[in-house]
Every structure is written in C-alpha cells, then in structure tokens.
Amino acid sequence: MTFRAGRAAGLHRLVAEAWQAVSRLGGHGATACGRRALAVLSGEGVFNRVRWLIAPDAMAFGYALRTTLASLLALGIALWWELGSPQWAALTVWMIAQGTRGKSIAKARWHLFGMVVGGIAGVALVAACPQQPALFILLLAACVGGFCFVGTLLPGPPTMTNYRIHGMRASGFTCVIISLDGIAAPERIFDVAMARLTYITLGVVIETVVSSLFQYRLQDRARSRLADNFITAIGRTTGLLRRMLSGEEAALRSSADLLATLASMGDQVEFAEVELGGRRGHEGDHARAAMAAVTALFARGLDLQALLADPASYGEAWKRLSAQTCDFLEPLAERLHAADGFAAVMADLAALRAAIRIEAATCLEAEMKIVTSPPVDVGREVSITRQGQALHTLGQMCDELDYALTQFDLSRNPQPHDTFHYAMRTWRDWRVAGGNSLRASVSVFIAGMIWVATAWPDGLTFLMFVGIVSSLFSTLETPAMATRAFLHGALCVSVVAMVVAFYVVPAVTTYELLAASLVVPMMVGGLAFANPAMVLGAVAYNLFLTILVGPLNGGRLDEITFFNTAVPLVLAMAFCTWMYRVFLPLDPDGVRWDMRRRILGTLRRLASRRLPMARADLIGLTVERMLKLLNTSGGERGPVVDAYLGGVLSGMTVGMAIINLRAILARGMTPPDVQRALRQTLARMARFSGRYGGQYGRTARATDLAVALLVRKEQHEANLTQRVEILRALASLRVIAAELQSSRSFFDASSPYLDRVYR
C-alpha cells in the first residue's frame, strides 16, 4: 500500500513538473491541456464523472430511496391484486416522483387530470373507428397533436417542470396506451381503459403517500425556501446594480441571463405554495409579486444605465447619493436573513428614498431659478437637468426595491384575512403551438403508416413508444436534444433489463427476492435523475426498466418477448430523434432572427396601438424571449448569443420608454410643439420593421431631433408642470437614443441576420 501510494505521488509530482515546463513554453493553451491531463492522471476527472453515484448528496439519495420504495410497493400491490400489467404502476411512480413534496403533488394532480382526459379520448377513439386502421392512426395523430397544441398554450414555460403542460402530455400518453391496447379488441376497450387507469391511479396514490412519509416540518421548509430564493435573487440583482452605480457600464448588459434565473426562481413559488397548503395565506401570491418586482428593479437599472451614458449626469449630488445607495445595497442580502432586522432595513431604505427625492426636487428648483433669471447658463442648466433625471430614475429604482421588500415580508409573515392575489401570467405563441402540434402529429402518423405498410407484428408496440415520446417531448424547445438523451437512456436500460430479466428473475421465486434484485438498478436510476446532467436519460431508464423486466404473477418474461419489446423501444427512440432533426428541425439562427423580428414588431405595436402593453407585461414577455434564446442555444454562449441577449434587453428598454411617452401624451400637459415631436417619433417607430432597411436611420434621426427640440424647450420653460412633463419625455427619448446607438447592429434591420455581423 505504501509503495503504491509513493509511486502515485511521484507520478503526480512528475506530471505537475512537466505541466509547468510545457506551460512556460506553450502559453495558455498548453496550460489548459496540462491542467486537464493532471486532473485525469490524478483521478479527479474520473471521480467527478461518477460522483453522483458513489458520493451522492443527502437529497439525491433520499429521493432515490423513497422513489425506489414507492415503485416497489406499487409493483407489489399490483401483483397482489393480480393485475394484467403490473409494471405500469411502477412506471407511473417514476413518472410523477420529483425532488420536493410540492413538485410531486403538483405533478400528481395534473397527471390525474391528464389521465382522465386521455382515457376518455382513448375510449372515444377506439369506439369511433374499430375496423378502420388508417382512420384510427389519423385520429390518434390528431389527438396527440391536439394535446401538444393545448399544452403549449397553458401558463408557464415549456419545460419538464411545468406540470400544467405535463397534464396535456399525460393526456396524450394515456390516450396512446389505452387506444393501442384496445384497438386489437374493440369490444374490450372499457375493460382495457379501466385497467390502465387503475395502474396509473395506484402509482399516483402510492407515490403521494410514500413521499409524504419522508417530509419533516414541510411548511417551515417551504417558507424557508421561498425566503432563500428571494434573498438570492435580490442579492444577485443588487450586486449588479452596485457595479453599475460604481461606473461599470456593461454590468447589467453582461448579465442578461440573470432574468432567466429570476424566472426559474419564480416558477418554484408554485411548488412551495402547494407545500404551504394552497393559497390560504397568500404567501405564494406575495412571493410571486416580490420576484416580479425584482425583475422590474433590474429593468429600472437598465433605464438608469442608459441615462448615465451622458457624462453630464455625474454631479456632486449624484456621486454622493449613488455612493449611499451602494452602501445600502451591499449588505442588504445578509440583513434580510435576520427577520427581526427587517424594520431597520425598511427605515434605512425610506431615509435613502427621501434623500434622493429631496435632491431631485433641489435640482428642479435650481433649474427653475436658472430659467427664470436670464441670461440662462446653458452649461450649468444642462448639468443640473441631467443629474436630476438620473436622480429621479434612481428614486424609481428604490421605489421598486421598496415594493419588492414589502411583498417579501408579507410572504414571510402572512397576515390574517389577506385577499392579495398575483396571478401567473403567460404569453401564448400560436405559431409555436402549431409547430409543436404538427411535429407530434406527423411523427405518430408516419409511425402508424410504417406499422400498416409493413404488417410488422410488433409495429403496435413501436407505434405506442413513438406516441409516448411524441406526447412527452414535442412541446419542448429542443426536442431533438431531449430524444437523443432519451435514446441513450433506452439503450442503457435495455442492457440492464436484459441482465435482470435473463439472469436474476428466473432465479427468484418470491416477490421479496424480486424486489431486492430491483433495488440496486432502481437506486442507480434515481441517483441519475437527481443529477442535472443526466435527467433526460434517467427518465427513459426509470420509465422503461419495469416495462422491459416485465414482472408477472404466473411466470417471467421470455427472451423472445423481451427482444420484441426492447427492439421497438430503441427503434422508436431512434425514429423520434431522426424525425425531430428532419421535420421542422430547430434552427438556432432562424429562432434568433424570428425573435429579432418579433421584438421590432412589438415596438411597432407599442407605438401605434391605442392601448399599449403594460410595463409588467413587456418585462414578462422579454423574460420569456430570453428563456427561449438561452434554451435553444444548447448552453453554448458566444458573441452571437451575447449580442442577441443584449438586443433583447435593449428592445425591452426602448419599449418601456415608448410606454412612458404614450402616457405623457395621454396626459396632454406638454406644449403643442413638444406633443408634435413626440407623435412624430412614435409614428416613425410605428414603421420600425425589418422590411425597409432605411427605417432604422430615420427612427434614430427622428429621436435625435426630438431630443434636441425638448432640450431647447426645457432650457427656457418656466411653467413647472410643463417642465416636469418635458423632463420626463426627455429622459425617455434619451433612453431610446442611447439604446438605438449602442445596439445598432440589432435594431438596424437592413442586414437580414445579426449572426453575419459576428462571423
């Protein structure tokens, strides 16, 4: 042992010395290569790859253990009841089991809903065309596509954690397995449906009961998780705001993916709300409002960043108050952990907001003195005006922070007789829903035609697996990547199930021994599911393990039946992967171009429609677009994706400025020539499209002319009310002008693709 350890240490030292020598000669590339080689030779790389299996954390091990116990219990009860296909009960447990109690309950509810809808659809489908295979396949494809269409339009992002969409996926899944089992014997369709629904219900009940036994102080942990998520979000956001206030110009723009992180944290509120017992205390509503306010705080920071592009904004008052704001924001996250210190935090924030308002009012008073005491010192007036606009926006940012902290306190300390409600919002994309529906329908229809044309004896099994995969993955934004991981999981589970079915199951004679033989492979699948890098492959492994093993009361799964199940499974996974690559495939360049075109269309509608979009809706729509952009990029970041992320943020900033201008025009308190200039700018923005390349230059020029006009007007405007309105309009116009200039490559639609600029 000592000799081997000494040799290993010597080898490690030798490699380290070689790495240092090569790095001195070869620069950064050699340094990186040497670091990787040293990690592999020292065993670090191998250990990191298998850490999820040999050294899992407590949460992952607990999830794998309780789900394994629940699935084996469901399988045992199904065998005890002598059900025909007991493996479906265990499959259902793995389908709905999640890492937290709230996620499991939410998914179980929607799974039951989807089960009922899919069961009714499956029975109706077989009853409508019992002797017409072509018509049956056509209607089955239409049903699966219809469920995917409806699921895409339901609230929430199209991810595997959105359980409203999962309800529609479960509907398609249930419709497929019931109708395909019943089409061979239409007279027994009701019995088939009841059997399948019994398996599913048994699995849902068992998983729900078992998972509840593993929970301790559930409500306290849910409240703690809500608080931790908010504190994490506010800490990251205020950290970026401090960097921006300290003079880092690209602080907010370089962290555009923070909005995606905030959105994912907001999605978790729903599951904590379930664990808290619903909306009786409205903690979830207040938590959603708090997370939305944090996102609005980020958006206010973008406005302020655009205004700070003018050096004239950096007056003495601004420097002093921005430093005070940084001092307040720096320890904010740590101070929020202590519930008894929240009153002191709000008192400090109120004092800061008051100081900012006083200085902003002082700037306005100084401006009025200058313009009412000619001759006007234009340079001093411009400096004071710019500083006042920056202070006013800083005050609005602090107002958003005050609202966010207020809602956070209400989520942490629910009040009696609270009636507050903050609904989940969604932005439906009918085009995406149609594409998802068509993708699923065509895949199922072609698989059915393969079965009919070839008369493959196991073609029905192949069609069933294709229908299952199409129901589960057609609503995802990257279905080809998901099905490829699913294919890898199917290959792994086929090998494991073959070993269990051929060598283990024949040697056992009681259920206890069968359960003991399945513990290890099930635990491996549960630990893999808890590893984020292996989720999709683990889903396939966990779903199809008991299907391929095929535990029965009256015997075992013979070799012919095993291969007649495993081969259609693997072929179905490969077929779906191929279909998602050739039929309506994901084109990242096309997705980005379409997103860019839609952003320009949103700006046109904001400038032209009688009732413009609300600020909260615009922010939410921007977050949705950023999530889609990040998801479709496959986790790869580069100059193109970063440029698009910055362009999406610029589009949101310009859109909010347009909303402000529309509100100023609606109040009608500005002079006629100012109103005319604002209307001309909005009219030019209403033509801001990708069809005519010259519109960008005309829009930018119209904005610059409006800024110049309002600057001249505010330098001599002595009416306080009109001056305030002019300053508000001028701040919005300056934001638009700054964004059009800084993101010209995004807004200038004369080039068909932004990607080509960076190639």
* Domain locations along the chain: 2-42, 58-216+427-582, 218-412, 590-758
**Residue 428: Cβ within 10 Å count:** 11
CATH fold match for the domains 218-412 and 590-758: yes
For residue 158, the model assigns a pLDDT of 62
What is each CA distance from 193 to 125, 197, 330, 552, 685, in whole angstroms? 12, 6, 60, 20, 57
Run of H or E including 478: none
Read off the pLDDT of residues 168-207 as tens digits, 9 standing for 90 and up: 999 999 999 999 988 888 888 998 899 889 989 999 999 9
- Token pair listed for 97: 């089991």
Residue range 218-412, CATH number: 1.20.58
Kindly list the distances between the CA atom of residue 221 and the CA atoms of 63, 107, 336, in Å, as whole numbers in the listed order. 16, 19, 17
686 near 608, Cβ under 8 Å? yes
Instruction: Report CA torsion sign: 543, 59, 266, 603.
Output: negative
- The H-or-E segment that residue 249 falls in is none
Amino acid at 432: V
- CA–CA distances in Å: residue 533 to residues 78, 92, 100, 538: 33, 23, 18, 10
CA distance 436 to 414: 41
Question: Tell me, what's the pLDDT at 161?
Answer: 63
Tokens (6 digits) for 273: 């709300």
Predicted pLDDT at 404:
93
CB 129 within 8 A of CB 135: yes
Q: Are 498 and 562 in contact (CB under 8 A)?
A: yes
Nearest C-alpha neighbor of 596 from the set 745, 378, 757 = 745
Q: pLDDT by residue (tens digit) across 682-710? A: 988 888 764 545 577 888 888 999 999 98
Alpha helices in 129-162 (DSSP H): 133-153
Task: Return the DSSP state at 750.
Answer: T
In this structure, the dihedral spanned by the alpha carbons of residues 221, 224, 228 and 229, taken in order and rounded to 10 degrees, is 70
Contact status, residue 309 vs residue 739, Cβ threshold 8 Å:
no
The pTM assigned to this predicted structure is 0.82
Entry field: residues in the chain: 759
pLDDT at 634: 65
Q: Where are the alpha helices (DSSP H) in 372-429?
A: 378-412
What span, in angstroms and rounded, lies between the C-alpha atoms of 194 and 202? 12
pLDDT profile of the chain (759 residues), mean per 10: 41 43 43 44 61 85 92 92 86 87 84 93 91 90 94 74 82 93 88 90 90 75 84 90 85 75 78 72 83 90 87 87 93 85 92 94 87 78 87 92 93 83 77 91 95 90 93 86 89 93 87 91 92 88 91 78 92 94 84 85 87 85 84 73 85 92 91 91 79 69 90 84 90 91 79 52
State the CATH architecture for 590-758: Up-down Bundle (1.20)
Residues 685 and 607 sit within 8 Å (Cβ to Cβ): yes
- Where b means 16+ CB within 10 Å and e means fewer, 477-501 reads bbbbbbbbbbbbbbbbbbebbbebb
Please give the sequence-ordered ranges of beta strands (E in DSSP) within 349-504, or none if there are none: none
